[in-house]
Chains A and B, each alone.
Chain A
Amino acid sequence: MNRKKILICDDDAGIMDLMEIILDEQGYHVIAEMDSLKVKLLIEKECPDLVVLDLWMPVLSGDMILQTIRGMPTFKNLPVVAVSASNEGRKIAMAAGATAFVAKPFDIDHLLEVIARPLDYC
């Protein structure tokens, strides 16, 4: 079976750990990266099917990365699920071109459903 490849990026180790476990459990191929500067290169190298991106990160914020992705012709339609604990998160994510937004703390089933939705169409 063709496992879908998901790139996750969050600066919090606990959340990375959690997401890795639950996504792996669902049979996804998970690539985890905590360094926001490396996300762009990783996308180009790994060509993931979907990206889960935290918005509030040091150095490069999620929305800045998102804008970069949307500016790359190959990836302008790449599904990106933005997550954030910020109250303004949804607005920022949608403005930057996110496919979907999930507020932290999230319900695992809800997160999985949001992630599965765009992948079903692929």
Chain B
Amino acid sequence: MHEFKKGRFNLSGDSVKDNFDLLTQALDSSISGIIITDNNQRDNPIVYCNNAFELISGYRRNEIIGHNCRFLQADDRDQPARAILAESISKGVECKVEIRNYRKNGDLFWNELFMAPVRDEKGAISHFIGVQNDVTERKKTEHDLRQQKLLMEQKIVERTSALKESEAFLTSIIETMREGLLVLDPNFVVLSANYHFLRTFKVNLEDTLGKNLYALGNNQWDIPQLKELLVKILPTNNPVVDFEVEHDFPHIGKKLMLLNAYRVELEGQFKDQILLAIEDITEKREIERRKDDFLSIASHELKTPLTTIKGFMQVLERSVPKDASEKFLSTLSKVSTNVDRLNNLIGELLDVSKIQTGNITLHKSNFDFDKMVMDAVDAMQSSTNTHKIIVQGKTNAVVEADESHIIQVLNNLLSNAVKYAPDGGNILVEINNVSEYVKLSVKDDGLGMNAEDAKRVFERFYRSSEIQKHFPGMGIGLYICDQIIKNHKGTLWVESEKGKGSTFSFTLPKGGSEDE
């Protein structure tokens, strides 16, 4: 008690005891748990604890005094903080650790322990003082924060790699596609160019990026038609769709290009960029042309011997002896029919090829629709004894169309009506005016067809399996008819029921289609 005598603890109390009580009360008011252990006794027993320590640990004072501090660690001995504590105790120095402790009810709490030695006059350590704070909440928050940060970092890594992956995916698509692709800024400066563009136009990336499109490769892209189109894109958002440009490039020669250009938009942003896709169709066109040439030559060469055969057949027919047998006559007629069939097939093949390459050219003229119908019907009637073709109605219309094509359609519909009504009967051809169109229907009482066939009958090479069995053919006649009527901006359709015959109808604008 010499400290008190020295006056260091000379508080306002009247006696040493008063002052001591005051200090004890102060210790009990602290929210930090405080203990004192006696270093002079074996195993450093706790000789003092304040109220807060009881609160933090959940033990009563009588359960605390006399124990070593380690009783708070329960069985959780494998903690790095223990080693620090042990070392500080043996060296007799202060330390601060965070250590897992357990309340009396077994709940874990994080104890922030500050430990300091107390030395006597000789400098020997007489006591240790431990100040404890329950930092469980803080630790939990810290832990949660750390977890969240980890999770976040992981997510960022995942997202970044997903982004990289999708970027690599897109890049690989852009670089692999066989179409030149440029991104331009509002001044037509190239922001990006893909590999195919560089390859097709024999340029390198350094000479392309950051350069004005029109200045590329010694102004070889200075194409007036292209300029005119691109200028309109940004202000009007009018895309350029499948625009064909032929241009003679100084280094790579004449190229036929198909251009598509769009304003780049992403959620309202990047509106100031133009995506320009350039397809080099020079070779494709050339192949199409060669195919057409081949087919015309082939068809010409096939028709030449056919002309001779047909001619000699006619010579034979003229010189049939009066007493010729029925068999002889029917054989002659069958050869003749098949020569005509062969001739039609050759013509159809050429037609299909032209339709596919879009090379059908319409030679329009004004003609008397009713007369055209009558002539075609008369010609068909003269070739069939089994069917009667009846024309109903009148249009009195002069139609502007490709007459030979329309005759081809009508002949096809009439011959189908004859063919698919094998039991003979009437074929009704009806013609009317419908608004600015003429309408023609061919109705037969033949086999008819089911809904599935009716839907697909205008497809190229489509043959209903049943029809194919009895009437072999290529399945292109109606396809050609459909294409011809479409080229004239009309429509061709069928109404049919199985066993009840079919009605094929088409409409044709009288004035021709304006835009051609």
Contact with A along B285-309 (1 / 0, CB 8 A): 0000000000010011001111111
Task: Answer whether residue B343 sits at the interface, using C-beta atoms and an 8 A cutoff.
Answer: yes
Question: Across the interface, which residues of B come within 8 angstroms of A15, CB to CB?
Answer: 304, 307-308, 311
Of chain B, the residue at the smallest CB distance from A89 is B300
Residue A105 contacts which of B311, B315, B318 (CB distance < 8 angstroms)? Answer: B311
Contact with B along A68-97 (1 / 0, CB 8 A): 000000000000000011111001000000
Contact with A along B321-340 (1 / 0, CB 8 A): 00000000000000000010
Task: Answer whether residue B384 sits at the interface, using C-beta atoms and an 8 A cutoff.
Answer: no
Task: Answer whether residue A117 sits at the interface, using C-beta atoms and an 8 A cutoff.
Answer: no
Contact with A along B467-497 (1 / 0, CB 8 A): 0000000000000000000000000000000
Question: Across the interface, which residues of A come within 8 angstroms of B363, CB to CB?
Answer: 91
A56/B314 contact (C-beta < 8 A), A14-B305, A17-B308 known? no
A-B pairs with beta carbons under 8 Å apart, 20 shown: A14-B307, A14-B308, A15-B304, A15-B307, A18-B315, A19-B311, A21-B315, A22-B311, A22-B315, A85-B303, A86-B296, A87-B296, A87-B350, A104-B304, A105-B306, A105-B307, A105-B311, A105-B339, A107-B314, A108-B315
Contact with B along A40-62 (1 / 0, CB 8 A): 00000000000000001000000
Task: Answer whether residue B310 sits at the interface, using C-beta atoms and an 8 A cutoff.
Answer: yes
A104/B315 contact (C-beta < 8 A), A14-B308, A15-B308, A18-B308 known? no
Question: Across the interface, which residues of B come within 8 angstroms of A12, CB to CB?
Answer: 304-305, 307-308
Interface residues of B in 358-390 (CB under 8 A from A): 363
CA distance A19 to B310 in the complex (A): 12
B310 engages A85 (CB within 8 Å): no
CA distance A81 to B367 in the complex (A): 25
Question: Across the interface, which residues of B come within 8 angstroms of A105, CB to CB?
Answer: 303, 306-307, 309-311, 339, 343
Task: Answer whether residue B312 sits at the interface, using C-beta atoms and an 8 A cutoff.
Answer: yes
Whole-angstrom distance from the CB of B497 to the nearest CB of chain A?
A: 38
A106 engages B311 (CB within 8 Å): yes
Known: A12-B307, A105-B343, A108-B311. 4 other contacts (CB 8 A): A12-B308, A14-B304, A15-B307, A18-B315
Contact with A along B225-241 (1 / 0, CB 8 A): 00000000000000000
A18/B311 contact (C-beta < 8 A), A105-B306, A105-B339, A105-B343 known? yes
Which one of A12, A86, A87 has the highest number of Cβ atoms from chain B below 10 Å of its Cβ?
A: A87
A85/B311 contact (C-beta < 8 A), A14-B305, A105-B339, A105-B343 known? no
Q: Chain A residues in contact with chain B, CB under 8 A?
A: 12, 14-15, 17-19, 21-22, 56, 84-88, 91, 104-109
Question: Across the interface, which residues of A come within 8 angstroms of B312, CB to CB?
Answer: 18
Whole-angstrom distance from the CB of A46 to the nearest CB of chain B?
A: 24
Of chain A, the residue at the smallest CB distance from B311 is A18
Question: Across the interface, which residues of A come within 8 angstroms of B339, CB to CB?
Answer: 105
Whole-angstrom distance from the CB of B263 to the nearest CB of chain A?
A: 44
Of chain A, the residue at the smallest CB distance from B300 is A85
Question: Across the interface, which residues of B come within 8 angstroms of A14, CB to CB?
Answer: 304-305, 307-308
Of chain B, the residue at the smallest CB distance from A83 is B307
Question: Across the interface, which residues of A come within 8 angstroms of B303, CB to CB?
Answer: 85, 104-105
Question: Across the interface, which residues of B come within 8 angstroms of A88, CB to CB?
Answer: 296
Question: Across the interface, which residues of A come within 8 angstroms of B300, CB to CB?
Answer: 56, 84-86
Question: Across the interface, which residues of A come within 8 angstroms of B347, CB to CB?
Answer: 87
Of chain B, the residue at the smallest CB distance from A18 is B311
Question: Across the interface, which residues of B come within 8 angstroms of A106, CB to CB?
Answer: 307, 310-311
Question: Across the interface, which residues of A come within 8 angstroms of B311, CB to CB?
Answer: 15, 18-19, 22, 105-106, 108
CA distance A105 to B336 in the complex (A): 12
Question: Across the interface, which residues of B come within 8 angstroms of A104, CB to CB?
Answer: 303-304, 306-307
Whole-angstrom distance from the CB of A40 to the nearest CB of chain B?
A: 24
CA distance A87 to B359 in the complex (A): 13
Question: Across the interface, which residues of B come within 8 angstroms of A22, CB to CB?
Answer: 311, 315
Whole-angstrom distance from the CB of B233 to the nearest CB of chain A?
A: 40
Whole-angstrom distance from the CB of A53 to the nearest CB of chain B?
A: 15
Whole-angstrom distance from the CB of B320 to the nearest CB of chain A?
A: 14
CA distance A77 to B300 in the complex (A): 29
CA distance A42 to B103 in the complex (A): 131
Whole-angstrom distance from the CB of A100 to the nearest CB of chain B?
A: 16
Question: Across the interface, which residues of B come within 8 angstroms of A86, CB to CB?
Answer: 296, 300
Which one of A56, A84, A105 has the highest number of Cβ atoms from chain B below 10 Å of its Cβ?
A: A105
A85/B315 contact (C-beta < 8 A), A56-B300, A105-B343 known? no
Whole-angstrom distance from the CB of B123 to the nearest CB of chain A?
A: 123
CA distance A90 to B306 in the complex (A): 19
Question: Across the interface, which residues of A come within 8 angstroms of B296, CB to CB?
Answer: 86-88
Question: Across the interface, which residues of B come within 8 angstroms of A85, CB to CB?
Answer: 299-300, 303-304, 307
CA distance A77 to B381 in the complex (A): 39
Of chain B, the residue at the smallest CB distance from A14 is B308
Report, nearest first, the 9 A-B pairs whose CB atoms are least far apart.
Answer: A14-B308, A85-B303, A105-B307, A18-B311, A104-B307, A105-B310, A108-B314, A85-B300, A105-B306
Of chain A, the residue at the smallest CB distance from B295 is A87
Of chain A, the residue at the smallest CB distance from B308 is A14
CA distance A104 to B309 in the complex (A): 11
Question: Across the interface, which residues of A come within 8 angstroms of B314, CB to CB?
Answer: 107-109
Whole-angstrom distance from the CB of B337 to the nearest CB of chain A?
A: 13
CA distance A39 to B314 in the complex (A): 28
Question: Across the interface, which residues of B come within 8 angstroms of A91, CB to CB?
Answer: 363
CA distance A99 to B350 in the complex (A): 27
CA distance A21 to B308 in the complex (A): 12
CA distance A106 to B307 in the complex (A): 6
Interface residues of B in 236-256 (CB under 8 A from A): none
